[in-house]
Amino acid sequence: MVLVTRSKRIVVLPGQRLSYQRHDHRSEHWFVVAGSARVTLDGVDHQLSAGGAIDIPAGTAHRMENPGQDELVFIEVQHGAYFGEENIVRLQDDYGRVS
């Protein structure tokens, strides 16, 4: 099995949040660059501010939310064997992407 790492810069607008989701074939590391964040991991909330980081093991339900007044900017580092869209299992979504 070949493991690969990929990174993305993600911006979350004030009052918005990402899907509550999990991935079976990759883990993630999130590093907050600017703003404040509420991260939910398997139903437990964690607060992060600029400079804070959190690890999301493969299979863990997770969500990033911006409870602040400013843009939330974070770096997502993905590590695993597969990054395809089929690996995303959305549990909840504010944008109608849960079937």
Measured between its terminal Cα atoms, the distance across the chain in Å is 31
- The answer regarding whether domain 4-92 maps to CATH 3.65.10.10 reads no
Q: Which of 49-53, 70-74, 80-84 has the lowest mean pLDDT?
A: 80-84
d(CA 42, CA 22): 9
Per-residue pLDDT, 99: 63
Predicted TM-score of the model (pTM): 0.90
User: What's the chain's length in residues?
Assistant: 99
Q: pLDDT, tens digit, for every residue of 15-62?
A: 999 999 999 999 999 999 999 999 999 999 999 999 999 999 999 999
d(CA 17, CA 39): 10
Residue spans per domain, the chain: 4-92
